[in-house]
Amino acid sequence: MRSTWRWFGPQDRVLTDDILQAGAQGVVTALHHVPYGDIWSPQEIARRQKEVATLKDGSDSRLSWEVVESLPVSEDIKQQTGNWRAHMEAYKISLQNIAKAGIQVICYNFMPILDWTRTDLKWRLPNGVTCMRFDLIDFALYDIHLLNRPGAAEAFPPETAAAAAERLAQMSAASKAVLCGNVVCGLPGETTALGLDDVRGLLRQYHGINADRLRQHLIDFLTEMVPVCEALGLRLCCHPDDPPFPLLGLPRVMSTEADYRLIMQQVDSPSNGITLCSGSLGVRADNDLPGMMTRLGDRVHFLHLRNVRSESPQPGDVPARLHSFHESEHMDGNTDMVALLDAVRKEELRRRSAGRSDWQIPMRADHGQDMYEDSLLDAQPGYPKIGRMKGLAELKAAMRVLEHRGERAGQ
Ligand code: DNO
């Protein structure tokens, strides 16, 4: 397992110096300033590589850009409208430019409109840390009463809708504005926040696109991109839906093991792979993360390790449906992290004995709780310096123990 760290570029409050001190071996980043659908030029890629390789005082960081997260798939490609053909060609050129720069792993997602979705970015836990949280009642309140989406009230269990109406009556205008901002916050690198009207407009574009159609668009995307990746020696890896349920009436097609299986079979190539994100997938009680790693491991090109804790029962919550959860400590929550790490270790051993050059899987400690001075630094939501460093240290230590035991037992 190779420890990596997500960095948002020079505007990130966390510095390359911090990444080095945290004990990460490589960097995960993207050209966040390039609009979706545009080409990533060799110059811009080289510039970011240089930034990764440089410490605050100008000296060499000895870090390099190892994983692209994300090379974004535009809405036009997801919907197959407008400029989607041109965006597909641009995507292929970006892949070529990335390959020329020596980077081989490329993460993307196929979630319509919204990436990760939370209702609270700073929820306080009893020990004083804050974390990101998805509260079903707040989300229902947003969907039914702030967005006023037709059909929204029927999309939630009646007791959830009733609790949302009750909460709305006590909510200040300022809290409503915060909630609206939080729901659309998960668009990494987005500089212009989406307003309610923007969201309504985007939702209208998805009329007539159901899950089957979206899945077909993903297959069409991969049918064209995977041969390009094979020729260039690249490994594409799809990030799961977060949370792994349909939201706002939009389809979501990468939420379960069955979803991944289908996509892996449809475009059956090692270049068509998985970003196994235990935090996203782990919200669902029916996703068995260690089992998924064991069964689908040969196609897992990138690991996002974090944990969530489902808060059921809340009014109307059902673990197999959209429900409330918060981001817990990395080693503690819905996912048995030690079992997942052990499945990763075993997959790496299999790869090694098969002579695979990609036997070490890049992993980043995903997200983190804000602790100590994290709230003062106010880095990208979900990506604090200290809380993430703690997560990385715990994950590395647990893995080291498993490896040590394995070495002693000769396995
Ligand atoms: C959340 C991240 C996601 C991820 C994209 C990949 O923190 O894991 O935003 O970067 O979905 O395309």
Mean pLDDT of the chain: 95
Look at residue 98 in the predicted model and tell me its pLDDT: 98
Instruction: For residues 349-358, give the mean pLDDT.
Output: 97
Question: Which atom of ligand 1 has the smallest separation from the CA of 383?
Answer: 7
Residues linked to residue 370 through DSSP beta bridges, in sequence order = 130
330 is catalytic: no
Tell me, what's the pLDDT at 192? 65
What is the pLDDT averaged over residues 77-84?
97
Partners of 123 in the β-ladder: 131
Of 18, 259, 288, 366, the catalytic one is 366
| Annotation says 239 is catalytic | yes
Q: Is 277 a catalytic residue?
A: yes
Reading the block at residue 306, the tokens are: 């974090």
Task: Report pLDDT digits (tens) over 87-134.
Answer: 999 999 999 999 999 999 999 999 999 899 999 999 999 999 999 999
Assigned CATH class of 2-117+209-313+332-408: alpha beta
Residue pLDDT, tens place only, 374-408: 999 989 999 999 999 999 999 999 999 999 999 99
- Residue 179 carries which DSSP code? H
Say which residue the tokens 């997801």 belong to. 78
pLDDT above 90 (res 357): yes
A 10 A CB-CB count for 193 gives 11
Asked if the model's pLDDT at residue 315 lies above 50, the reply is: no
Annotation marks residue 323 as catalytic: no
Model pLDDT, residue 147: 97
Atom of ligand 1 nearest to the CA of 275: 6
The percent of residues above 90 in pLDDT, for the chain, comes to 93
Q: Is 145 a catalytic residue?
A: no
**36 Cβ below 6 A of ligand 1:** no
- Cβ of 382 less than 6 Å from ligand 1: yes
Domain boundaries, the chain: 2-117+209-313+332-408
Mutate to test the pocket of ligand 1, among 116, 118, 238 (most ligand atoms within 8 A of CB): 116
Strand, helix or coil for residue 336: coil
Whether residue 317 is predicted with pLDDT greater than 80 in this model: the reply is no
Ligand 1, atom nearest to 280 Cα: 8
**Does 257 sit in the ligand 1 pocket, CB within 6 Å?**
no
Ligand 1 close to Cβ of residue 362 (< 6 A): no
Catalytic residue among 107, 131, 180, 277: 277
Q: How confident is the model over 171-181, as a mean pLDDT?
A: 96
Amino acid 68: pLDDT: 98
CA of 303 to the centre of ligand 1 (A): 12
388 lines ligand 1 (CB under 6 A): no
DSSP state, residue 357 = T
Exposed (0-12), middle (13-18) or buried (19+): which is 301, by Cβ within 10 Å?
A: buried
Q: Quick check: is 91 catalytic?
A: no
Whether the per-residue pLDDT at 316 is higher than 80: the answer is no
The confidence band for 191, taking pLDDT boundaries of 50, 70 and 90, is: low
Indicate if ligand 1 lies below 6 Å from the C-beta of 217: no
Is 327 near ligand 1, meaning CB less than 6 Å away? Answer: no
Report the alpha-carbon distance of residue 392 to residue 385 in Å, rounded: 11
Please give the pLDDT value at position 320. 67
Ligand 1 binding pocket includes 107 (Cβ within 6 Å): yes
* The one catalytic residue among 304, 323, 326, 330: 304
37 lines ligand 1 (CB under 6 A): no
Residue 289: φ, ψ to 5°: -65, -50
Ligand 1 atom closest to Cα of 186?
Answer: 9
Would you say residue 258 has pLDDT above 90?
yes
What's the CA gap between 380 and 191, in Å, rounded? 12
Atom of ligand 1 nearest to the CA of 277: 8
* CA separation for the pair 200, 147 (Å, rounded): 7
108 touches ligand 1 (CB under 6 Å): yes
pLDDT of residue 411: 76
How far apart are alpha carbons 291 and 274 in whole angstroms?
14
One-letter amino acid of 306 = R
